[in-house]
């Protein structure tokens, strides 16, 4: 019975039948169905392989050889068909992806400068046209440059850890910090250069602030310094008025209010007339949202350099005088573009940034 079921001729016919059907196959799913039909766990050829145990011992070598040759023939047919179907699929995919050179090209979206960069470049350009020079300095500073040389007393609130981000410098902890303003650059420039000095120092500064709509632990500033002989508060007003008129327009008014800064005396806050309501405080019959009905908007602080700073850098306060000013870039940008949340400048949301 075993010999009748495992005739080498029958094995060859079954293998030939399977190989022929596989060669004619053109789809992956159909090819897989044929593989299962013949070589699956319950496949026709698999059944013959399992039945080899019932063959008479003297016939096993011949029947076993026929089965192995038949199985190899089917496997080779499957491999060739799979390669052919894959080549056809890739060819069809390439044909579908052919570029039609007659179609107009798709221009990639162009990037643009960040709104803070745009505002910074414009501010610096205005002061450079007035003869100021761009200066730079380190963002990790010492207590001397950030506080002591700028006339901050030892008990000033800015020295508190709740206001300033100190760097863990081992035994020097408390003397190394992230600068809280760009004013240290002014000290560094005066240390290496005798008057006249006319400079602006843009850059990032850091403060231990809770994040809300108008505060962020990292922001940018532009500060300016002018030191020469016979510099007066009138010169300061003239420079800042010129900046305001170039940046906001010649119709914009300025207002100087008394203030206090450790490094300037006298000191002032500078307001400009609200350009949204033209300083009236009313917009569209309602209270102007931008200036809250005051007609004014604060933009920067300034003052005449305190003589103590001159002594710290080796200048003679009887020979030289000067002024300094500083402004936050984010504040200027928020005012100009009517942005009500400072976080928008740092979140990287393209829907916001593409407006500029």
- Would you give per-residue pLDDT tens digits along the chain (356 residues)? 334 456 777 888 888 888 888 888 888 888 888 888 888 888 888 888 887 777 778 777 887 888 888 888 888 988 888 888 888 888 888 878 777 778 888 888 888 899 999 999 999 999 999 999 999 999 999 989 999 999 888 877 777 766 888 888 777 677 889 999 999 999 999 999 999 999 999 999 999 888 888 888 899 999 999 999 999 999 999 999 999 999 988 888 999 999 999 899 999 999 998 877 877 888 888 888 777 888 898 999 999 999 999 999 999 999 999 999 999 999 899 888 888 888 999 998 989 998 88
Sign of CA dihedral 19, 21, 24, 27: negative
* Rounded CA separation 202/187 (Å): 14
Taking a C-beta distance cutoff of 8 angstroms, is the pair 169, 175 a contact? yes
Question: Among all chains, which residue has been given the structure tokens 């300061």?
Answer: 236
3-state helix vs strand vs coil in the chain, percent to 5: 45, 20, 35
H-only helix segments in 147-255: 183-192, 233-248
Report the predicted TM-score, pTM, of the whole model to 2 decimal places: 0.66
* Rounded CA separation 261/267 (Å): 6
What letter would DSSP give residue 216?
-
Q: Which residues neighbour 264 within 8 Å (Cβ) at sequence distance 6 or greater?
A: 302, 303, 304, 305, 306, 323, 324
């Amino acid at each position: 019975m075993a010999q009748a079921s495992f005739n080498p001729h029958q094995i060859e016919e079954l293998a030939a039948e399977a190989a022929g059907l596989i060669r004619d196959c053109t789809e992956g799913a159909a090819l897989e169905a044929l593989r299962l039909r013949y070589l699956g766990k319950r496949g026709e050829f698999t059944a013959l392989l399992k039945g080899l145990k019932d063959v008479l011992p003297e016939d096993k070598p011949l029947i076993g050889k026929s089965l192995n040759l038949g199985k190899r023939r089917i496997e080779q047919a499957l491999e060739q068909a799979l390669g052919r179907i894959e080549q056809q699929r890739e060819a069809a995919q390439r044909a579908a992806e052919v570029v039609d050179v007659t179609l107009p090209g798709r221009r990639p979206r162009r990037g643009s400068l960040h709104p803070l960069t745009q505002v910074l470049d414009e501010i610096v350009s205005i002061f450079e046209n007035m003869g100021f020079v761009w200066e730079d300095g380190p963002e990790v500073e010492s207590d001397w440059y950030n506080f002591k040389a700028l006339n901050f007393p030892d008990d000033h609130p800015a020295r508190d850890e709740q206001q300033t981000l100190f760097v863990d410098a081992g035994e020097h902890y408390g003397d190394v910090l992230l600068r809280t303003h760009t004013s240290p650059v002014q000290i560094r420039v005066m240390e290496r250069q005798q008057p006249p000095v006319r400079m602006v120092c843009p850059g990032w500064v850091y403060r231990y602030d809770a994040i809300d709509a108008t505060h962020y632990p990292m922001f940018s500033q532009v500060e300016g310094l002018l030191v020469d002989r016979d510099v007066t508060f009138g010169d300061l007003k003239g420079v800042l008025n010129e900046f305001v008129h170039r940046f906001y327009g010649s119709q914009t008014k300025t207002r100087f209010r008394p203030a206090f800064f450790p490094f300037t005396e006298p000191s002032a806050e500078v307001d400009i007339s609200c350009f949204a309501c033209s300083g009236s405080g009313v917009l569209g019959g309602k209270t102007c949202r931008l200036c809250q009905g005051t007609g004014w908007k604060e933009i920067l602080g300034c003052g005449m350099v305190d003589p103590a700073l001159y002594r710290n850098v080796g200048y003679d306060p009887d020979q030289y005088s000067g002024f300094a000013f500083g402004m936050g870039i984010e504040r200027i940008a928020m005012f100009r573009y009517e942005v009500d949340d400072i976080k928008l400048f740092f979140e990287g949301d393209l829907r916001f940034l593409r407006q500029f």
